[in-house]
Amino acid sequence: MTQFATTHTAFDSVGIKEDLQDTIFTISPTDTDLISSLKRGKASQHLHEWQTDALAAATTANAFIEADDIASFPALTPTVRVGNRLQISRKLILISDSLEETDRAGRGSEEAYQVAKKGKELKRDMETIVFANLAGAAGSTTVARQMATLGAWVKTNTSLGATGGDPAYTSGVPAAARTDATAGDMRAFTSTILNDIVQQGWTEGADIDAMTLYCGPVNKTKVSSFTGIVTKNYDISTPKPSAIIVAADVYVSNFGVLKVKANRWMRERDAYGIDKKFLSLAFLRPMKTVKLAKTGDAEKRMLLCEWTLRVHNEAALIGAFDLLTT
């Protein structure tokens, strides 16, 4: 292949326009299944409180003689007062005024684009926080307030490794995180573990049929490989295509049917059975964009919310912990 030495080619030309598509592509996941499906409520203080109660144990000794004279009355059991701390979560944006005036590919306003992006990041942070194992903290002028997350709430219906420990509450607030088992006491997630916590929950009064079992991707795959799953269904409108079914989206236990979902933002070592009627979010300040004072040739924005996780009654939830992550 040859060309004349004087041929003017694209390699020599000056002024060729760049070919930049007017689109921005991202595959970063933005699904936040749990917090997006929870009800919202209003908080009015930095410590948000509510009450729980339970009925007395059933007894076979409830029989009395005719005309019995009542000489004394048993003490009544008061309600239990529990609560959670509100924490402030935020994202910050600083954009020069000069940048905002330029012509950019893929977005009109740089500010609007960044606000939308940071809003998605904040939601992902919130989902990750809810599934974490963090104790509640009152905070101070130098330490941020922090809510107690699911790991510090669930303590009644649990299965954990030998060196793991359920959390305890201080004055109704989970002030200490769950004790994670050491690496040597991590266990493979099995149907025996799941059946155990399901039975515990049902005995306490939990509604197993209303639960969604949340697992990380590794343990979602392990649930799909449990032995004893009779049917794996795939809904297709036309029976012509063939499908290889390797996933279980429901688990039929002796005490109810759980939906099974993978969650990107939770710890792989944990699995939670959640009845969403018993979880909600409470906000002192709902998510909003705040325009900060202008001090130079740039615009400042802050996305902020002040919020907490409200666990209405933790005995309505189940948890398997200290699970192998591979």
User: 225-270, pLDDT tens digit by residue?
Assistant: 998 655 555 565 666 666 656 667 899 999 999 999 999 999 999 9
> What tokens appear for 305 in the block?
């919310």
- What's the CA gap between 54 and 26, in Å, rounded? 49
Tell me, what's the pLDDT at 190?
A: 96
DSSP H helices, the chain, are 33-37, 97-101, 110-130, 150-153, 191-204, 217-224
Task: Tell whether pTM > 0.85.
Answer: yes
How confident is the model at residue 10, as a pLDDT?
Answer: 79
Predicted local confidence at residue 204, as pLDDT: 96
- Classify strands 47-52 and 256-262 as parallel, antiparallel or unpaired: unpaired
Cα-based torsion angle of the residue sequence 253, 259, 263, 266 in order, rounded to the nearest 10 degrees: -50
Selected residue with higher pLDDT from 322 and 225: 322
What is the C-alpha to C-alpha distance for residues 116 and 121, in angstroms, rounded to an integer? Answer: 9
Confidence band of 9 (pLDDT split at 50, 70, 90): confident
Contact present, 150 and 131 (Cβ < 8 Å): yes
Report the pLDDT averaged over residues 34-40: 95
